[in-house]
Amino acid sequence: MPVKIYSNEFSVSTRGETEIIDITGRVESCVHKSGVTTGHVLVFSPGSTIGITTVEYEPGLKKDLQEAFEKLAPRRASYHHHKTWNDGNGYAHVRASLLGQDRVFPVKEGKLYHGTWQQIIFIDFDNRARTRSVTVQVVGE
Amino acid sequence: MPVKIYSNEFSVSTRGETEIIDITGRVESCVHKSGVTTGHVLVFSPGSTIGITTVEYEPGLKKDLQEAFEKLAPRRASYHHHKTWNDGNGYAHVRASLLGQDRVFPVKEGKLYHGTWQQIIFIDFDNRARTRSVTVQVVGE
Amino acid sequence: MPVKIYSNEFSVSTRGETEIIDITGRVESCVHKSGVTTGHVLVFSPGSTIGITTVEYEPGLKKDLQEAFEKLAPRRASYHHHKTWNDGNGYAHVRASLLGQDRVFPVKEGKLYHGTWQQIIFIDFDNRARTRSVTVQVVGE
């Protein structure tokens, strides 16, 4: 079978403030629609105050992860970025740069391949509610 | 030459406790078996208490990296996750979410392309010994 | 259209010391040359004291990010790596391992897909000036 590319996207409504949203089901749905049996899936979001990663999605770990980001780049610390734009979200940019907005997963037997306790999450670090966009691209046969 | 996908996997025995294991040779072997000359190779592991990254693999840096993770998410701190499952490995989940379980490398002239001092490592953050699985997928021509 | 692979590279002159360089334009140029309309682009650099990520590229955030890395792995702390090679750049290796040297972005309508304020940056954590190499590989149709 020839290798092909399938591209799709979906939107995520967030409240910001390091809200963590499980997007595994929506990525799985894109993989299913792609018809790809074996390949990679890229999960990417355009934006500089967000992140994509994995976690065992349960309420305790969501808090633990939020606290880890608060330690890495505290919400109320002083940021040079605030002098540039005065928008108060320097912490959100720093967290986003450290985490990244791209993750790649295998596709095996027509399905997103991941651990039972390894969900894909979207994190909005910014200080306001927003609708965000996620791009899912599958390459494979 | 048409682009193709090659998928393989191998297992890694770990003792946990942020043990760091060099998997470069095993990834190189998968790239060789794929027959791909030019392309990408995805190195991924299913699990929520592990990570994949690169380092100059020498004993000093292994300790330095372990100490950096201890600072990021201390082993004996209090985690909300423990209230959910009482399994004491909240630090391992947080470290894994910050690092990620996927890395992508170029394949050039039939070989894994990386720096001389840039080895691919598997880190098991969990608090017990385990056999882990690593998936290697090559896309290219 | 059949899926193809396009591979290119460029060099970056850095002064080290966590200098941050915007490479978005050079990645865009590689995507344009590839002729790929829909696909992925891998941005990778061989080396163990460097990193690739994204940021809103403005002077304030560059300083904020440098300060975040100084907090993560301080320049003048004690590192076991120094006992191995005595080269004083343990902090640079640790920062590089935490951040990674690979990022993947979508290509849509023949262009690198990223946010308006989401530039791709190369960070040289090492303690000396250097010429570095960045590989850009596009897979798609």
Q: What per-residue confidence (pLDDT) applies to C1? A: 80
pTM higher than 0.95? yes
CATH of domain C4-140: 2.60.120.460
Other beta carbons within 10 Å of C2: 9
Q: Closest approach of chain A CAs to the CA of C137, in angstroms?
A: 14
Name every chain C residue with its beta carbon within 8 A of the beta carbon of B121.
97
Q: Closest approach of chain B CAs to the CA of A116, in angstroms?
A: 7
Residue-wise pLDDT tens digits, A87-131: 899 999 999 999 999 999 999 999 999 999 999 999 999 999 999
- Asked if B10 has any chain A CB less than 8 Å from its own CB, the reply is no
**What is the distance between the alpha carbons of residues A112 and A106, in angstroms, rounded to a whole number?**
6
pLDDT of C85 > 80? The answer is no
Selection from C80, C100, C101, C89 nearest residue C125 by Cα: C89
pLDDT of A1 > 90? The answer is no
Q: What per-residue confidence (pLDDT) applies to A86? A: 79
Helix (H, G, I), strand (E, B) or coil at C18: coil
Query: Are A96 and C54 in contact (CB < 8 Å)?
Result: yes
pLDDT-based confidence at B85, cuts 50/70/90?
A: confident
> Which of B5, B8, B132 to mutate to test binding with chain A, by most A CBs within 10 Å of its CB?
B5
Nearest to B63 among C7, C40, C80 (CB): C80
Query: Are C54 and A79 in contact (CB < 8 Å)?
Result: no
Q: Closest approach of chain B CAs to the CA of C122, in angstroms?
A: 16
Q: What per-residue confidence (pLDDT) applies to A85? A: 77
Query: Are C80 and B99 in contact (CB < 8 Å)?
Result: no
pLDDT of B14 > 80? The answer is yes
Residue-wise pLDDT tens digits, A20-71: 999 999 999 999 999 999 999 999 999 999 999 999 999 999 999 999 999 9
Residue-wise pLDDT tens digits, C111-127: 999 999 999 999 999 99
**What is the 8-class DSSP label of residue C75?**
T
pLDDT-based confidence at A18, cuts 50/70/90?
A: very high
- Secondary structure of B85-135 in the HEC alphabet? HCCCCHHHHHHHHHHCCEEEEEEECCEECCCCCCEEEEEECCCCCEEEEEE
pLDDT-based confidence at B98, cuts 50/70/90?
A: very high
